[in-house]
Amino acid sequence: MVTACAACTTTAEPRTELAAEETTAGASPAPISDRRSSSPAPGTAFAVLGELAVQGRAPKTGYSRDAFGSAWIDVDDNGCDTRNDILARDLNGTEGDRCRILTGNLDDPYTGETITYERGASQVDIDHVVALGNAWVTGAAYWTDLERRAFANDPLNLLAVSAAANRSKGDGDAATWLPANKRYRCNYGARQIAVKAKHRLWLTAPEKAALERVLASCPDQPAPEADPAPKRDVGERKAASVRSKTQPVKAKKPQKAKKRYRTCKEAKAAGLGPFVRGRDPEYEHFRDADHDGQVCE
């Protein structure tokens, strides 16, 4: 997870008023670029921001979550889906087996609060820092299915955060939504910029202006280049790496139930489950309460 920047406060407030800066009466603010005494240092979020294309939004026609593939999948062949990889990376004091995080504690970057995670009754979501809807209207609509699936499961673009904050954000960009935790805004802006640069997405003019305001208080904020590996045992990571290089990981075959089960208890008694979204037809018959893409775990 990107380390929080202690001086990352801004005068911006959430929602549409983020586009306005406080100025003295009768005064016109100078462009942020004119207030900087020198060019941004290489590797900083400010430098990367200046390299991104700026243009209007593409139509949202055709957008759906399914356009980015099933959530969540094992993209790195370590045997664990992306959601549990991110939980393992971002939570503290986790309990559970290697690929099923059951409990833990989150130091939520968006609110600054500590949140208890409990599988099946969680107040923690995995957020796409650059929202999928925003990505769609800034370039992803023209990608292949494979490119969109890689984007949706890119650890650089994923954070474990407060479910309430994530749902408040929706598909908002930096011009319409920023974390309530002002100390994290520099990190948040830098990560959005890094994701857009990595995946060749463009910015809208209001979005770029908002990110400039965020970074004005931390012009040397680095742009993250890579995401840390999940906090798993080193031996497990090494074994997974060796396995992926020597033999392909076999995908589990879809489970075909001989009859329709009314409850997960009945299905598990028959030796079935978990059912995975996009793989097992039985998934559609049950409620996915924790939105992890699996039921009857």
Q: Give the C-alpha separation, 261 to 272, whole Å.
A: 10
Say what the pTM is. Answer: 0.66
34 has pLDDT over 60:
no
Domain residue extents for the chain: 16-21+31-215, 252-297
50 against 241, higher pLDDT: 50
Q: Give the C-alpha separation, 66 to 52, whole Å.
A: 27
What is the tens place of the pLDDT at every residue in 105-128? 999 999 999 999 999 888 999 999
What is the tens place of the pLDDT at every residue in 136-192? 999 999 999 999 999 999 999 999 999 999 999 999 999 999 999 999 999 999 999
The confidence band for 254, taking pLDDT boundaries of 50, 70 and 90, is low
- Among 61-75, 222-236, 253-267, the range scoring the smallest mean pLDDT is 222-236
Pairing label, strands 114-118, 100-107: antiparallel
Cβ neighbors of 200 (< 8 A, separation 6 or more) are: 139
What is the tens place of the pLDDT at every residue in 238-253? 333 333 333 333 334 4
Q: Give the C-alpha separation, 294 to 80, whole Å.
A: 13
Half-sphere exposure (Cβ direction) of 174: Cα atoms closer than 13 Å: 28
